[in-house]
Amino acid sequence: MEIKKGTFKKGIHPSYNKHYTSSLPIEIMPSPKEVAIPMSMHTGAPATPVVEVGQYVHLGELIGQAAGYISANIHASVSGTVKAIEPRLMGNGSKVSCVVIENDFQDAPCENVEKYDPETVSPEDIVKIIQNAGIVGEGGATFPTSVKLSPGPDAKIDYVIINGAECEPYLTSDHALMREQAAKVAGGLHLAMKVFGLDKGYIGIEDNKPDAIEAFKALNDDSIIVYELETKYPQGSEKHLISAIAGREVPSGGLPAQAGCIVINAGTAAAIYDAVTEGKPLYERVVTVTGSGIKQPKVLLFRIGTNVNEIIEYCGGLTDDIAKVILGGPMMGPAVYDPNVPAGKGTSGILCLNRADAHIEDPSNCIRCAKCTEVCPMGLMPMYLGAFSQKRNFEKCDEYNALDCIECGCCAFTCPARRPLVAEIRVAKRGVQALRKKRG
């Protein structure tokens, strides 16, 4: 097995704080009494519920049908009776239709589960299985994986890359998964390689996870090239992982496939393998429950639709000086005002911060230090984007490439004046999109 090194330009070195959970094994959380499974926890159109209130559902049974091409199937994460189909509050503040299932704790399996041999399964079948299993990117963007694996007949894919960078501070979900189930992740990679007829696959892991790198080395698989990446944020950004491994840039506004690359999260790869070999749809995933505000940090395998409050209680509850609960990592995850929301396919972390860790000084005037410009991995000038956004000058925001922003947060992290640059740029992006629409 070949080991190579790689990195990308710019970026930041935040405090990683992975020590809370970095040595913990994945613990299986007992399934809860009730799950509320959102019909929209992926990029694209919400799924359409295909069950009725009062109906009995089996573990892994289809309960939401993908509505359109960019959408994803949703499956029951417990067996039991459908109690309600109603809108519930999500982590991002919106209300989404949820199928609420009362658990009968039988985990009654579905009948006629189709299992395939990974050696003989056809590329077309792999994509179909992934689509049926409702697999989406587990890194956070939750883009339907089957769509990602179908870039069209014109695309020439040279690199299939597993994203094991996990550059977000605090999170260790992928780390634990790669350490414990490297063979499964590698199996997922092989299946993805098969889709594109490739005989080489790549996996990128930050060098702060030596045991994960070792786990892949131990597989002794010559068709996989492991990249030991510099520990730098945002190394796990799709675009920057491609820079580090393939040495290519994804064209502005384009997809990785246009640079001949497909990037799949490590957790997603394991899910692909499970879907093909066991016929298991995506109904559970790994989450890191961590931070100074949780009593017992854990790495948990939970059923999709479990209430975040219940996960927190399972981890001993919040500390008395809790100030912030974030779904995801500290750099890109949204903060919730109420943890009474379901955890979904994209919930990679539940980060609980106490008052001291959540404290951010009030913003003051921009001093034009240009440190945001020096760290922006997209090569933008956040200082100007922020200023133009405040003035609602969206023409200028467009000229300064607001839409290229990936909202990684490097600029706001670095800003000594504590300017809310990401928030300002989000406003700018909306403004630019509206402006472009108006122009036609």
Partner 1 sequence: MSERLLTVSSSPHARGKQTTKSIMTDVIIALLPATAVGFYVFGLKAVILVVTGIATCVLTELCCEKIMHRDVTIGDMSAALTGLLLALNVPVNCPWWVLMIGCVFAIVMVKQIFGGLGCNFANPALAARVLLVASWPSHMTGKAFIPVDAVVSATPLAIIKEGGDAIPSALQMFLGFDGVYGCIGEISAAALILGFIYLLYKKVISWRIPVTYVATVAVLSFCFGLSAYEVLIQVLAGGLMLGAIFMATDYVTSPATAKAQFIYAFGCGLMTVLIRQKGGYPEGVSFSILFMNFVTPLLDKYLRITKYGEVKK
CB of 292 to partner 1, least distance (A): 12
11 lines the binding site for partner 1 (CB under 8 A): no
Alpha-carbon separation of residue 205 from 7, 173, 182, 356, 382 (angstroms): 11, 13, 12, 31, 28
- The set of residues, in sequence order, having a beta carbon less than 8 Å from that of 189 and lying 6+ positions away, is 160, 162, 201, 203, 224, 264, 269
Interface pick for partner 1 out of 46, 305, 409, 431 (rule CB under 8 A): 409
- The set of residues, in sequence order, having a beta carbon less than 8 Å from that of 130 and lying 6+ positions away, is 145, 146, 149, 272, 275, 276
Coil, helix or strand for 317?
A: coil
232 lines the binding site for partner 1 (CB under 8 A): no
C-beta closer to partner 1: residue 287 or 326? 326
* Window contacting partner 1 (CB under 8 A); options: 97-105, 146-154, 195-203, 246-254: 246-254
C-beta closer to partner 1: residue 46 or 339? 339
Interface pick for partner 1 out of 3, 28, 113, 367 (rule CB under 8 A): 367
422 lines the binding site for partner 1 (CB under 8 A): yes
Q: How far apart are alpha carbons 224 and 3 in whole angstroms? A: 9
Parallel, antiparallel, or unpaired: how do β-strands 2-6 and 224-229 relate? parallel
Residue of 236, 347, 333, 220 lying closest to 285 (CA atoms): 347
365 lines the binding site for partner 1 (CB under 8 A): yes
- The set of residues, in sequence order, having a beta carbon less than 8 Å from that of 356 and lying 6+ positions away, is 292, 321
254 lines the binding site for partner 1 (CB under 8 A): yes
CB of 173 to partner 1, least distance (A): 18
181: tokens are 């189930």
Q: How far apart are alpha carbons 324 and 161 in whole angstroms? A: 34
CB of 400 to partner 1, least distance (A): 8
92 lines the binding site for partner 1 (CB under 8 A): no
CB of 22 to partner 1, least distance (A): 17
Interface pick for partner 1 out of 95, 128, 200, 418 (rule CB under 8 A): 418
How would you classify residue 328: left for phi > 0, otherwise alpha for psi between -120 and 50, otherwise beta?
A: left
CB of 42 to partner 1, least distance (A): 20
Query: Is 211 exposed, middle or buried, given 0-12, 13-18 or 19+ CB atoms closer than 10 A?
Result: middle
C-beta closer to partner 1: residue 184 or 324? 324
Parallel, antiparallel, or unpaired: how do β-strands 95-103 and 34-38 relate? antiparallel
C-beta closer to partner 1: residue 35 or 351? 351
Window 370-399: contact mask with partner 1 (x via CB under 8 A)? xx-xx--xxxxx-xx---------------
What strands lie across the sheet with 62-65, from one edge to the other? 48-49, 62-65, 74-75
What part of residues 160-199 is at the interface with partner 1 (CB under 8 A)? 169
Window 126-165: contact mask with partner 1 (x via CB under 8 A)? ----------------------------------------
What DSSP state is assigned to residue 233? B
CB of 249 to partner 1, least distance (A): 5
Helix (H) or strand (E) holding 97: strand 95-103
Largest Cα–Cα distance of the chain, in whole Å?
65
CB of 27 to partner 1, least distance (A): 24
Window 318-357: contact mask with partner 1 (x via CB under 8 A)? x---xxxxx---xxxxxxxxxxx----------x-x----
Q: Which residues bind partner 1 (CB under 8 A)?
A: 12, 14-15, 169, 239, 243, 249-254, 318, 322-326, 330-340, 351, 353, 358, 360-361, 364-371, 373-374, 377-381, 383-384, 400-401, 404, 407, 409, 412-418, 420, 422-423, 426
